[in-house]
Structure 1
Amino acid sequence: MFARAATCAAVFSLALGATQVAAHGDVTPQAVDVSTLKPIGEEWLTANPYRGDKEAIRIGTSAYNQNCARCHGLEAISGGIAPDLRYLPAGDEGDEIFLNRIRHGSVRGGRVYMPPFEGILQQEAMWSIRSYLETVHEE
């Protein structure tokens, strides 16, 4: 009986370990379908045009989960790897910080802490992610 329990525990541990190793997921940016959003155009906006838009929030939730959650945490609750995005300032102030970081990424001392998403995600996708983040904002 003890040997069987030990074997089950070992199999469970191996399975759990494999899950934890693979939990980081695919780090290739995932495409975001923004076809149901009003197009923004080529010029970069300084304020979120989709603030409060239900469709943008829906798209942004999915886009966040596919492209941001692996580092910033599910529901923007950081596990310590990257900043907790729930505390990003609300409104235009937060828009400026968000857009700068998502477009240009973050590099310190030659180390990439966050890759730049400009040229990878459309502006509409970025603003939809920002729309989602405002729904989980905390002071």
Structure 2
Amino acid sequence: MWARRALVLITLLSAAVGPMTAVHGHGDAAPQPVDTAGLDPVGTVWLEENPYRLKGGKQYELAQQIGASGYNQNCARCHGLEAVSGGIAPDLRYLETGTDGDQWFLQRIRHGYSQDGSVKMPPFENILNQEAMWAIRSYLETRPN
């Protein structure tokens, strides 16, 4: 008798609490803005090489910090925490270094990627500015392969 009452109580509580909670398996999938305050503006012409790596010093360090936040807000849900992929998307620690890696990264983050009509990665060109994209690239350069 007590087991039946407990089951009824659990069912009632679940019905009452269930509608008040939302489950997001991978968190909020909406792209999040990246605050790039403090980074030197890079202009409207798309660059082919990471300007913050080229500048070095405090700008590169700041870009890495901002990029870590931007990565965690926008990329980690698919590419993994600290850029260690769990298999859903490529492990970004293995991007080529230098200009070749920069060009591939910028092409992919700007335009996204589709395969067989299915969007595998959304385009971020009209969501993140160029400074935010290069900041994320700067962060990825700190991740060892």
TM-score (norm 1): 0.83
Q: How many residues align?
A: 122
Runs of 4+ in 1 over 4 A off after TM superposition: none
Q: Which of 1 and 2 has greater Rg?
A: 2
Within-5 A mapping of 1:38-117: 38-51=40-53, 52=56, 53-117=60-124
The alignment's C-alpha RMSD in Å is 1.9
| Residue segments in structure 1 that go unaligned for 5+ positions in a row | 4-20
Letter in 1 for 2:61: K
Distance 2:75 2:51 in 1: 21
**Any idea what SS the aligned residue of 1:33 has?**
coil
- Residue type at the aligned position of 2:64: I
State the identity as a percent.
66
Tell me which residue corresponds to 2:39: 37
The one-letter amino acid paired with 1:112 is V
1:24 is matched with 26
8 Å CA contact retained: 1:75, 1:136? yes
Aligned to 2:133: 126
What do the CA deviations read for 1:71-106 (whole angstroms, capped 9, x no partner)?
A: 000010000000000000111111011000000000
Give the gaps of 5 or more residues in structure 2.
4-22
